[in-house]
Structure 1
C-alpha cells in the first residue's frame, strides 16, 4: 500500500483538497514498507483531535511533515512528506513517536506554522539511521517551546540535536524560554553537538530537570556556556561512555568568570567511563553545588574528582602532577552527600573526611595485584552508611581479620575509636561484592554483625566462603533472625568453585 487515501484522477491546475479528519485521536502507522504518503495527489490534511501520532517501520517514507503551500508550489525538493499540513498543525497533539524509519532523512521539510504543536509534550525518535538533526533552525525550535520531554536514541547519522542558524537576538529584544524538562540522548555514535550555532543570549532552558547522555563517542562537549548558564533548574546530569573532553565550553567572543556557578540546583551528578574528560569548564572551574546528594564519578582518566582547599586557591588554572585541577571541593560537597562512588585515587585523597550523611557508598576499581582493602578508611566517618558495594577490584580479602579500626584524631569531625571491623558501620543493612575476581575470604565470620540484612555476591570467582548455602547457614552468626527469610541472601553461583 503506497497511499491510505487515494484519488481516481487529478486534473492539471486543480486546487488541493482539504481533508479534515475530525475524530481520530491516535494515529499509528506500523510496518508499511511501501507507504509513501497518507494521501495521493494534492491535498491538505487537518487533524483537529489528534493527540498521539506514532509511525514505525515505514521504509519508503523520507520526510514526515511538510508545509502544503510550499510543497504544492514545487519550491522544495522532490521528497514527498508523509503528511501535508497547513495553518493549524496538530493543535491537540501531545505525543509524537518516530521509530525504525530506515530511510527518513528529515522529520519536517519546512519550519512549521507559528501555531503548530502548541500542546506537544513528548517527542521520541529512535532507530532512524539517515537523520542528521532534530531541530535545524531557531524558528523551528520556537514552535516547540511547550515540549517537555525529548528522547533520541540509536540514530547512526545524527550529528546535532539543536542546530540553530544565525539569529540576531539583540534585534528581537526577547528571550525564548522552553519548558523542556527531560532530555535523553543515547547510542548516537556520530553526534558532535547537542547545541550548535547559537548566538549570544536569547534562549533559556531553565525548566530542564534531567539530562542523560550515553554512548555518544563523537561528542566532545555537552553545553555551550550561555546555554548552561540558563539551566538554573537542572537537578540530575548523567554522562556515560562518551568522547567528552569538557562538559561546558565558551562560545567565541563570550567571556565568563571561572567563579560562575553552573547548575545551582544540581542534586545528582554521574560521570562514568569518560576517558577523555579533562575538565568541567575551562580547566579551572571548581563547583560547590550545595544541594548535591548523589555523586558518581568513575574512569575519567584525565580529570580528578576532589582537591583540597589549598589546591583550589594556589593551583587554579594550572596542572598538577599531569592532572587538571579537580572539580569538587570536599569541604563543600561531602557534608551533603547521601550516595557516592569512590575510586582508588579518591580514597587516597579523602582519608580524613567525615561522611555524616552518606547512606550508599560504592568503592573499588583497585586493579593492582596484592592490593590491600582500605579497611581503615571505611571504619571511620560513615556512621549512617546503609549500603556498601565493593566493585571491580583484585582484593583477596574484604575487611581482613587484622583490621584494627583505630586511627589518630583528625581535624574532621567524627569518632576516633572503633571496635571490631564492621561494628563501626552500625547502620549497614546491605553489602554487595561485585566483580572481585581474586576474593578468597569475605570477612572473619565472628565479625559479621546481626544488623546486616542482605548480602549479595556476584562474579567473585575465588570466594569459597560462599561456596554453598549450607556452609553459610552453618555459621553461628546466621541462625535466626538473619537468614530466616532466604530471600535476603543473594548468591551468584559463579562466585565460588568449591
Structure 2
C-alpha cells in the first residue's frame, strides 16, 4: 500500500488532502494506493499517472482530475470514483478532466459508471484493454433487459462527448463505435480519429453520424480486418441535411484493411474531401480503384497520393461513362505508386490531365502498366521519375518514361 495512513493522525491527513499530483512507475508489488476507510481524503488529486504497477487491483480517482494516464497494470479490474459526499447519487461529473489514456489494462472491465459526464474531455486514448467492451458501464435497465443492451457500441447513446478533439481506439474488441442516436452534440468537435487493430470493427461512419464530423482533419484506419466500407451512406436511420462530407479532412490514411472494397456503399450525393491534402492507401488488397472520374473532381486540394501494396488495384481513377475531365488533382505535388501488380493505368478515360505542380513521382514494381494515361499529361515541373529510392529515369514525359519501364523491366 502506498498511503497506509491512520485516519486519526491529523498531520498525515492534511498532507494527503493537499496532494494534487501522483505519479507511480514500476511498482510491481503495489496492490492498492490508499486505505478504503480514508479514500475520500484523496479527493483533490488533479494529475494521476500510473505505469507498470502489475499487482494493482483497484484504482481510486477524484472528480477534479484533469489528466489520467494508466498503463501496463495487468491486475487492474476496477476504477473507483471518490465522491465528495458519501452516499451521493445521480450523475457524476468530471468537470475538469481533459485527457484520459487507458493502455494495456488486460483485466479492466469497467472504466466509468453509466451515470457520468465529461464536459471538458478533449483527448481519449484506449488501447489493448480487451475486457473493456464499452467506455461506460451498462445501465441496470440494460442488465435486466438484454434486448435493450447496446453493448456492441463502445460509446452508448447515453454518453455525451461534445468537447472531444482527439480519439484513439486501438486493439479493442469493438464492433461499432457510436450509437446513431447518441446526443446530437457528441463528437462534433472531433479533429483526429485513429482506429488501429480493431479486428471486429464493422463500420466507422453511418449516415446519422457523418454529419457530425465537420471538424475532422485527420483520419487513420489500420488493421481493421472486417471493415469492408468506411462510409455507410444508406441502410441506417434517415440522414440529415448535409451540404458537404468531411469538409475539413486534410489527411486520410488507410492501411492493412484486408476486406476493404470501396470507400462507401453508395455514391455520395454531396461534395466530399474538398480540403483533403494527403491520401495514403497501403496494403488494401480488395480495392480495385480509388475513385470514379467524377468523384475525383472533389479532390481539388490533393497534393500527396501514396498507393502501395494493393494487389487488385487496376486503375487509380475508374471509368465514368466516357466523361473527359482535365482538372483532376490540380494541386498534386507528389505521387507514389508501388507494388501494384495489376495496375494497368492511372485512368482509362481520355483527355488532357493538367498537373502544373507535380514535382515528384516514385514508381516501383508496377509490371502491368504500359502507359500512364491514354492521352497527354501536362507536368511542366516534373523532370524525372524515381524508380528506386535514389535512381531516376526520364524520357521527356511521364507516359514515355512509364512505357520505357514496361518494355525494359530490368532497367
User: Do they superpose with TM above 0.5?
Assistant: yes
Out of 60, 72, 92, the position equivalent to 1:100 is 72
Tell me the SS of whatever aligns to 1:98: strand
Q: Which structure would you say has the larger Rg?
A: 1
1:340: which partner in 2? 305
In structure 2, the CA distance between the partners of 1:123 and 1:259, relative to structure 1 (3 Å rule), is closer
Contact between 2:278 and 2:303, CA under 8 Å: does it hold in 1?
yes
Matches within 5 A, 1:444-455: none
Distance, in Å, in 1 between the alignment partners of 2:186 and 2:255 is 27
* SS at 1:4 equivalent: coil
Q: How much does 1:200 deviate?
A: 5.6
Query: Which of 48, 53, 63 lines up with 1:58 in the alignment?
Result: 53
| 1:235 alignment partner in structure 2 | 217
Q: State how far apart, in whole Å, the 2-side matches of 1:157 and 1:177 are.
A: 22
> Which runs of structure 2 are paired with 1:44-193 in the superposition (5 Å)?
44-47=39-42, 50-65=45-60, 89-91=62-64, 93-108=65-80, 116-132=93-109, 134-135=111-112, 137=114, 139-140=115-116, 142=117, 144-161=118-135, 176=160, 178-188=162-172, 190-193=173-176
Task: Check 1:283–1:152 CA distance in 2 against 1; reply closer, same or farther (3 A cut).
Answer: same
CA distance change for structure 1 residues 428 and 100 in 2, over 3 Å: closer, same or farther? farther
TM-score when normalising by structure 1: 0.60
The number of residue pairs the alignment matches comes to 364
1:433: which partner in 2?
388
Give the direction of change, closer, same or farther, for the CA distance of 1:45–1:247 in structure 2 (3 Å limit). Answer: same
- Tell me how far apart the structure 1 counterparts of residues 288 and 409 of structure 2 sit (CA, whole Å): 34
Q: What SS does the aligned partner of 2:129 have?
A: coil
Compute the RMSD of aligned alpha carbons.
4.5
Per the alignment, in what secondary structure is the counterpart of residue 43 of structure 1? helix
C-alpha displacement of 1:32 = 2.4
Residue of structure 1 in register with 2:334 after alignment: 360
1:382 aligns with 2:355: yes
SS in 1 for 2:33: strand
Q: Is the 8 A contact 1:204 1:227 kept in 2?
A: no
Q: Does 2:44 correspond to 1:26? A: no
Q: Is the 8 A contact 2:160 2:186 kept in 1?
A: yes
> 1:218 & 1:26 partners in 2: Cα distance?
37
Q: Give, in whole Å, the separation in 1 of the partners of 2:288 and 2:366.
A: 23
- Cα distance in 2 for partners of 1:90, 1:41 equals 17
- CA positional deviation for 1:357: 0.8
8 Å CA contact 1:129, 1:156 repeated in 2: yes
1:292 is matched with which residue: 247, 270, 276? 276
Could you say if the C-alpha distance between residues 175 and 156 of structure 1 is closer, same or farther in structure 2, counting changes exceeding 3 Å?
A: closer
Does structure 1 conserve the Cα–Cα contact (< 8 Å) formed by 2:39 and 2:82?
Answer: no
Which of 189, 195, 214 is the aligned partner of 2:196? 214
Query: How many angstroms apart in 1 are the aligned matches of 2:27 and 2:396?
Result: 65
Question: 2:74–2:105: 8 Å Cα contact kept in structure 1?
Answer: yes
Structure 2: gaps (5+ residues): 143-147, 149-157, 308-312, 398-407
The TM-score, its normalising length taken from structure 2, stands at 0.70
* 2:3 alignment partner in structure 1: 4
Native 8 Å contact 1:356 1:381 kept in 2: yes
Report the counterpart of residue 393 of structure 2 in structure 1: 443
Per-residue deviation, 1:157: 3.6
Partner of 1:226: 208
Q: What pairs with 1:452-463 in structure 2 (closer than 5 Å)?
A: none
Whether contact under 8 Å (1:27, 1:50) holds in the other structure is yes
| Secondary structure class of the residue paired with 2:259 | coil
* Structure 1 match to 2:405: none
Mapped to 2, the partners of 1:94 and 1:428 lie a distance apart of: 53
Q: 1:70-102 CA deviation, whole Å, 9 max, x = no partner?
A: xxxxxxxxxxxxx5xxxxx342x3221100011
Distance in 2 between residues matched to 1:367 and 1:267, nearest whole Å: 29
Q: Which residue of 1 aligns with 2:292?
A: 307
